[in-house]
C-alpha cells in the first residue's frame, strides 16, 4: 500500500486565519498532539520572520517526537543578495530544523510584478536558494507559490521553476494553489505535465479553499501522482482557509486505499481536531465532515429507523473509524425509532408499542410547537425521558426568585442581582448574588442556595448561553412579546451539557434552563437515578 506523507501547516498557514493567534506553548502542545496522531511533518513556522517562531524552534528541541519531523519555512533569498549572505536563509540554518520548505515564485506575473526581477533571475533565486540549503538539511521541499496560475499563463516558465528546484536538490516539488481558484481537472492536467516533463521528481500539493475545492484538489493531485499533501487541521488558514486534513486523511485512508497516519491512529482524528480547536480558542464547526458533532447525527424518523436496521443506509462510514459517535436527535420530525434509539442509550430496551414511547413523542411534539428544540438541548430531553419513565425525584423545591437589572449613575455601570428562595429537605434557603448580567446573577444565586446540600455543584460553570426570538410565537406587532428560546451550556470540568428554556420572559426562560442544568448534574451524580432501568 502506497504511503502519502501528511504535512501539517496549522502552526504557520493556520495562524494566518482570522481570529487565530498561537503562543509558543500553544504551538508546542499542538505539535505534540499531531505527533500522537501520526502526522509525518509539522511546519513550525518561519524563524526568519518573527520572534515567536524563532523561540518555537528553540523550545521544540527539548521534546522527543515519535512520528513528526518539524519543518521550518522560508523564502528564496533576497534579490539583492547572494544565498550565502541572506539573513532569512541563515535563520533557517540556525534554527536547527532537519526539514526545510522554501517557497519561490512560479508565476511570471509575480516574478516581474511582485519581485521586480526578470524571469531568468527568478529561476536563479530558486536554484541558488535550494542549492545553498541542500547541504544543511536532511529533507528539502520547494513550495512553488501560485504554481497553477503560473501554469495557466506561462506553462514553460512554471515548469522551468520546478526543474530548477529539482536539479538543485529539492526532494519534493509542492504545487501550490495559492489563490484557491483552480478546478480539479486543471490540477490533474498540471500534475501529469510536471511528472512528464521532470522525470524522477516527487510532487506534493498545497491547496487553498477559495472555491471550496481545496480537499477535492488535494485528492485529485494524489490520484495523479502527488506523494505529499499539505494542509491544516480543521481547514484553518487565510481567507477561506487551507485544505482540511480532517477530511483529506480519512478520504485517503478509507476511500482511496492509501496509507497515511494508519487506521489505528485515524480513530484519534476527532479528538485531535477538537483539541486544536480548543487551543485556537474557537468553537468546533458542527457540520464539519467526518469529525463534526453533526457528521453522523440523524433527525428524521425514517432515517433513524433505517440506521437502526443497518447504519450504512444513511452513513458512508462507521463513525468510530474517525473517533466520532452516532447521534440521534429529537424534534417534531422524530418518529418512534428516535425514542427507541435514545431509550437504549439510557439503558431502556423499550418496545415500540410501549405507551411511554407514544407519551414521550407526543410530549416532544407539543413542546416543540411552542419553541422547545431538543436536538439542541439533549440534557433537557434526558430529564424529560426519565421523568416519563418513572423518575420523579425532586432535589429541591422552587419558592420564588427576584432579579434586579439596573444601571448606577455614579459609575455608569450596569448592575445585576438575583434573589432565590428554594426548599431542600424541608429547609427553606434564601440567597442572593450579583453577576455579569441577570442570567449570571441568577445562576450564582441558585447554586449558592444549593451548594451546601450538594457540594458537587461548586464545580459547575456556565460556559455559554444563546437566545433566539421565535418568529412563530410573536404576540404583538413589534415582536417584543415573542417567545424566546434560551440555551445554556454548562460544565463541571469533566463533561458538558446543554439545557433549554422557552418563555415570553427571557428571565423565566433562563430560570428553566438553569434549573434543568442543576437537575441534570444532580441526576448524573445520583447513584439511584434510574429506578426503573435494566
Question: Tell me: the pLDDT tens digits for 351-366?
Answer: 878 887 888 888 877 8
Euclidean distance between CA atoms 237 and 500, whole angstroms: 34
User: pLDDT confidence of 78, banded at 50, 70, 90?
Assistant: very high
Q: How confident is the model at residue 532 (pLDDT cuts 50, 70, 90)?
A: very low
For the chain, helix, strand, coil in percent to 5 are 45, 20, 35
The answer to whether residue 327 scores a pLDDT higher than 50 is yes
Asked if 331 and 374 count as a contact pair (C-beta separation under 8 A), the reply is yes
Q: Which residues touch 4 (CB under 8 Å, ≥6 apart)?
A: 222, 226, 227, 228, 229, 252, 258, 259, 260
Query: What is the per-residue pLDDT across 372-420, written as a single tens digit (0 to 9) for each?
Result: 877 778 888 888 888 887 776 788 999 999 999 887 767 777 888 999 9
% pLDDT > 70, the chain: 93
List, edge to edge, every strand of the sheet that includes 413-424: 397-408, 413-424, 427-435
Highest mean pLDDT among 259-268, 333-342, 485-494: 259-268
Pair 129, 165: CB distance under 8 Å: no
Q: What is the pLDDT of residues 145-199, one digit of tens each?
A: 999 999 999 999 999 999 999 999 999 999 999 999 999 999 999 999 999 999 9
pLDDT at position 267 over 80:
yes
Alpha carbon distance 150, 159 (integer Å)? 9
**Mean pLDDT, residues 198-219 taken together:** 98
The runs of H, that is alpha helices, within 13-71 are 24-37, 51-60
pLDDT in tens, 93-142: 999 999 999 999 999 999 999 889 999 999 999 999 999 999 999 999 99
Amino acid at each position: 500500500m502506497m504511503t502519502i506523507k501528511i504535512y501539517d501547516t496549522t502552526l504557520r498557514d493556520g495562524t494566518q486565519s482570522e481570529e487565530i493567534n498561537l503562543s509558543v506553548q500553544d504551538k508546542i502542545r499542538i505539535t505534540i498532539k499531531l505527533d500522537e496522531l501520526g502526522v509525518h511533518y509539522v511546519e513550525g513556522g518561519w524563524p526568519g520572520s518573527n520572534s515567536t517562531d524563532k523561540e518555537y524552534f528553540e523550545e521544540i528541541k527539548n521534546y522527543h517526537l515519535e512520528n513528526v519531523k518539524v519543518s521550518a519555512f522560508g523564502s528564496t533569498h533576497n534579490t539583492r543578495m547572494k544565498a550565502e549572505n541572506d539573513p532569512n536563509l541563515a535563520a533557517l540554518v540556525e534554527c536547527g530544523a532537519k526539514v526545510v520548505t522554501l517557497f519561490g515564485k512560479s508565476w511570471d506575473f509575480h516574478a516581474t510584478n511582485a519581485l521586480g526581477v526578470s524571469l531568468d533571475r527568478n529561476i536563479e533565486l530558486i536554484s541558488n536558494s535550494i542549492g545553498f540549503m541542500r547541504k544543511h538539511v536532511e529533507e528539502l521541499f520547494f513550495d512553488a507559490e501560485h504554481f497553477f496560475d503560473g501554469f495557466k499563463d506561462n506553462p514553460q516558465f512554471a515548469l522551468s521553476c520546478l526543474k530548477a528546484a529539482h536539479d538543485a536538490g529539492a526532494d519534493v516539488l509542492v504545487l501550490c494553489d495559492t489563490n484557491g481558484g483552480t478546478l480539479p481537472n486543471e490540477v490533474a492536467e498540471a500534475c501529469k505535465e510536471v511528472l512528464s516533463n521532470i522525470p524522477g521528481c516527487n510532487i506534493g500539493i498545497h491547496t487553498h479553499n477559495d472555491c471550496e475545492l481545496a480537499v477535492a484538489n488535494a485528492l485529485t493531485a494524489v490520484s495523479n501522482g502527488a506523494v505529499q499533501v499539505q494542509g491544516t487541521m480543521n481547514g484553518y488558514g487565510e481567507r477561506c482557509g487551507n485544505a482540511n486534513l480532517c477530511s483529506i486523511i480519512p478520504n485517503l485512508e478509507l476511500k482511496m486505499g492509501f496509507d497515511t497516519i494508519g487506521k489505528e491512529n485515524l480513530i484519534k482524528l476527532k479528538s485531535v481536531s477538537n483539541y486544536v480547536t480548543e487551543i485556537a480558542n474557537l468553537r468546533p464547526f458542527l457540520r464539519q465532515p467526518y469529525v463534526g458533532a453533526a457528521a453522523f447525527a440523524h433527525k428524521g424518523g425514517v432515517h433513524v429507523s433505517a440506521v437502526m436496521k443497518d447504519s450504512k443506509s444513511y452513513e458512508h462510514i462507521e463513525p468510530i473509524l474517525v473517533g466520532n459517535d452516532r447521534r440521534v436527535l429529537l424534534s417534531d420530525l422524530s418518529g418512534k425509532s428516535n425514542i427507541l434509539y435514545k431509550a437504549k442509550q439510557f439503558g431502556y430496551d423499550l418496545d415500540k408499542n410501549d405507551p411511554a414511547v407514544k407519551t414521550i413523542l407526543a410530549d416532544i411534539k407539543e413542546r416543540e410547537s411552542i419553541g422547545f428544540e431538543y436536538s439542541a438541548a439533549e440534557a433537557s430531553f434526558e430529564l424529560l425521558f426519565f421523568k416519563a419513565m418513572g423518575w420523579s425525584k425532586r432535589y429541591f423545591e422552587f419558592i420564588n426568585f427576584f432579579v434586579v437589572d439596573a444601571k448606577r449613575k455614579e459609575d455608569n455601570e450596569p448592575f445585576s442581582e438575583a434573589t432565590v428562595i428554594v426548599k431542600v429537605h424541608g429547609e427553606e434557603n434564601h440567597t442572593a448574588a450579583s453577576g455579569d448580567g441577570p442570567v449570571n446573577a441568577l445562576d450564582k444565586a441558585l447554586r449558592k442556595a444549593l451548594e451546601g446540600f450538594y457540594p458537587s455543584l461548586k464545580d459547575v460553570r456556565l460556559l455559554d448561553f444563546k437566545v433566539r426570538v421565535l418568529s412563530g410565537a410573536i404576540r404583538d406587532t413589534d415582536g417584543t412579546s415573542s417567545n424566546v428560546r434560551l440555551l445554556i451550556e454548562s460544565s463541571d470540568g469533566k463533561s458538558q451539557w446543554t439545557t433549554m428554556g422557552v418563555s415570553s420572559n427571557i428571565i423565566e426562560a433562563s430560570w428553566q434552563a438553569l434549573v434543568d442544568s442543576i437537575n441534570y448534574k444532580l441526576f448524573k451524580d445520583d447513584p439511584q437515578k434510574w429506578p426503573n432501568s435494566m
